[in-house]
């Protein structure tokens, strides 16, 4: 397996390609992807945090620099944030390699609700693999996409605690929760 | 107890990390290209990063509330009671009463913000803290201080709270929407206080009034955060004209703020371009 990080030297942000590579190496080993080539492409010209999986062979993850940035220190690398973003993509890649998981849409074709549901399923497993995450942050993200309801919270719990789900089950859970979403508040002034 | 303390002397525990506004505005990534690709866009639930962007903005509100409490508290203490003429450091007793009331509001806002942070999954100190709000509260002239803080800064708070309130409404988040709506009502009062004291304390002193308004313009431009707050389609925080009107702003003043925001945005983009050129030459 080989991990490559592009660019190899950064000029706009204070990131170290070797540190990113070592983190990806650790994540891949822990998540059972040790035999795959992995390419991390960092767009350091953007401070935003968009990120996506470009290809599966090699596993090619594209991130804007904000995705790996320390929210306390501008233009500095965050190991915690990078673990979250890259760990999710690696686990999603692992799901996509698994024939039992089924065919999920490409990252570009995922709806916000389905993406978030898959994220929750992924981060729950990352936590059980020993990587820290803020559960409430993900509950809030899930509620934003599926509604601030008890039904959405129950679905979140199911996704967070599950292993071995298929894509169709993830999508089904997401769709069922979203169907109970009351949507816009439209509260009238008292 | 010392008067007129520096922003560096504010009490914070080790969860907080101070950030400098210049580091942000001179970030070479801000002007990576001219396509607008590096601008986050208006804060709506449709944005892919909406939940995290809302968390970051809410944390900014939280530290702003702490500094607003500290600023109003210092204004109660930094000046003696008197007539409030230009050459003394006195303010009317009623102004101190208003500042004491504002302290009460801001303390309540801090507590609401902490609970909202819990609700949204944000840890205290998770994001950097810029002290620019308190810096505006360090002006030694109480009229300039109130104009900079209560009109410019609390005016920005109106824009931010309104944006977050709308976000909560669209996302269907009843907790966020209620909290922001209630805090927004207080901010309108705070801005109105600034407008009223500016008018009362400078009624017979047009020079001082002009200086105060000029200070407000400077602060308004800084607080536009390079166009983060403005009236462009992709401004993450929009100018809340209706609520500003309730707080004593007229159309001319609001048009000026919108123009200042456009200027600030252009300057940040230019600074970013220069920084990028420098980086590419090294």
Model-level pTM greater than 0.90?
yes
CB-based contact B121 A185, cutoff 8 Å:
no
Say which residues have a Cβ less than 8 Å from residue B99's Cβ, sequence separation at least 6: B72, B73, B75, B76
Alpha-carbon distance values, B174 to A2, B49, B165, B200, B228 (Å): 48, 20, 10, 39, 25
* Residues in chain A closer than 8 A to B127 (CB atoms): 71-72
pLDDT value of residue B34: 54
Return the residue in A132, A137, A147 with the most chain B beta carbons within 10 A, the one to mutate for interface testing. Answer: A137
pLDDT value of residue B274: 76
Assess contact for B164 and B58: CB atoms under 8 A.
yes
Reported ipTM: the value is: 0.94
The distance of A187 to chain B (nearest Cα, Å) reads 8
| pLDDT, averaged across chain A | 96
The distance of A126 to chain B (nearest Cα, Å) reads 18
pLDDT value of residue A30: 96
Looking at residues A140-164, what average pLDDT do you find? 98
CB-based contact B121 A71, cutoff 8 Å:
no
How many Å apart are CA B133 and CA B153, to the nearest integer?
Answer: 7
Give the pLDDT band of residue A147 (cuts 50, 70, 90). Answer: very high
Residue A56 DSSP code: T
How many Å apart are CA B179 and CA B113, to the nearest integer?
Answer: 8
Tokens of B110: 């801090």
Share of chain A above pLDDT 70, in %: 99
* Residues in chain B closer than 8 A to A141 (CB atoms): 51-52, 121
Ranges of chain B with pLDDT below 70? 31-39, 86-87, 272, 275-276, 279-280, 282
Task: Note the Cα B94 to chain centre separation in Å.
Answer: 24
How many Å apart are CA A180 and CA A189, to the nearest integer?
Answer: 25
* Residues in chain B closer than 8 A to A184 (CB atoms): 169-170, 172
CB-based contact A134 B121, cutoff 8 Å:
yes
The distance of B48 to chain A (nearest Cα, Å) reads 7
Say which residues have a Cβ less than 8 Å from residue B38's Cβ, sequence separation at least 6: A45, A46, A47, A48, B29, B30, B31, B32
Return the residue in B42, B172, B227 with the most chain A beta carbons within 10 A, the one to mutate for interface testing. Answer: B172
Looking at residues A92-120, what average pLDDT do you find? 96
Assess contact for B98 and B193: CB atoms under 8 A.
yes
For residue A67, the number of C-alpha atoms closer than 13 Å in the C-beta half-sphere is: 26
* Residues in chain A closer than 8 A to B55 (CB atoms): 137, 140
How many Å apart are CA B85 and CA B78, to the nearest integer?
Answer: 15
Biggest alpha carbon distance in chain B?
Answer: 58
pLDDT value of residue A29: 96
Assess contact for A76 and A42: CB atoms under 8 A.
no
Beta bridge pairs of residue B129: B18
How many Å apart are CA A178 and CA A116, to the nearest integer?
Answer: 12
Assess contact for A81 and A68: CB atoms under 8 A.
yes
CB-based contact A187 B37, cutoff 8 Å:
no
pLDDT tens per residue, range A43-93: 999 999 999 999 999 999 999 999 999 999 999 999 999 999 999 999 999
pLDDT value of residue B112: 97
**Helix B93-120, helix B50-78: angle, nearest 10:** 160
* Residues in chain A closer than 8 A to B172 (CB atoms): 147-148, 181-185
CB-based contact B177 A185, cutoff 8 Å:
yes
């Amino acid at each position: 397996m080989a991990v490559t990080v592009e660019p190899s030297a950064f000029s706009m942000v204070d990131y170290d390609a070797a540190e990113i590579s070592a983190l990806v190496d650790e994540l891949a080993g822990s998540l059972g992807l040790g035999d795959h080539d992995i390419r991390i492409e960092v767009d350091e010209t953007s401070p935003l945090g968009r990120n996506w999986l470009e290809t599966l062979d090699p596993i090619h993850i594209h991130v804007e620099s904000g995705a790996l940035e320390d929210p306390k220190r501008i233009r500095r690398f965050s190991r915690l944030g990078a673990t979250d973003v890259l760990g999710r993509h690696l686990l999603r890649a692992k799901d996509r390699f698994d024939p039992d998981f089924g065919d999920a849409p490409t990252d570009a074709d995922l709806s916000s609700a389905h993406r978030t549901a898959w994220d929750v399923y992924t981060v729950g497993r990352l936590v059980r693999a020993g990587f820290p995450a803020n559960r409430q942050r993900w509950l809030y993200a899930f509620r934003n996409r599926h509604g601030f309801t008890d039904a959405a919270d129950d679905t979140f719990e199911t996704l967070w605690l599950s292993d071995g789900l298929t894509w169709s089950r993830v999508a089904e859970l997401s769709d069922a929760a979203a169907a109970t979403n009351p949507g816009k508040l439209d509260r009238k002034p008292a | 107890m010392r008067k007129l303390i520096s922003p560096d002397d504010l009490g914070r525990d080790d969860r907080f990390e101070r950030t400098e506004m210049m580091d942000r505005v001179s970030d070479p990534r801000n002007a990576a290209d001219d396509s607008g690709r590096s601008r986050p866009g208006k804060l709506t639930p449709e944005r892919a990063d909406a939940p995290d962007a809302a968390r970051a903005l809410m944390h900014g509100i939280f530290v702003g509330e702490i500094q607003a409490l500290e600023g109003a508290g210092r204004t109660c203490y930094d000046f003696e009671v008197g007539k409030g003429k230009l050459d003394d450091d006195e303010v009317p007793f009623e102004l101190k009463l208003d500042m004491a009331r504002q302290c009460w509001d801001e303390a309540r806002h801090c507590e609401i913000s902490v609970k909202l942070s819990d609700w949204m999954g944000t840890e205290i100190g998770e994001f950097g803290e810029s002290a620019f709000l308190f810096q505006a509260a360090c002006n030694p002239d109480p009229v300039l201080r109130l104009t900079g803080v209560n009109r410019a800064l609390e005016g920005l708070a109106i824009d931010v709270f309104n944006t977050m309130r709308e976000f909560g409404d669209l996302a269907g988040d009843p907790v966020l929407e209620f909290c922001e709506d209630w805090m927004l009502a207080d901010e309108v009062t705070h801005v109105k206080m600034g407008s009223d004291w500016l008018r009362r304390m400078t009624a017979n002193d047009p020079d001082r009034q002009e200086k105060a308004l000029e200070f407000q313009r400077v602060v308004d431009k800084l607080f536009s955060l390079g166009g983060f707050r403005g009236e462009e389609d992709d401004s993450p925080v929009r100018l809340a004209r209706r609520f500003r009107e309730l707080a004593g702003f007229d159309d001319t003043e609001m048009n000026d703020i919108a123009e200042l925001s456009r200027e600030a945005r252009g300057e940040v983009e230019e600074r970013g371009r220069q920084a990028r050129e420098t980086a590419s030459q090294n």
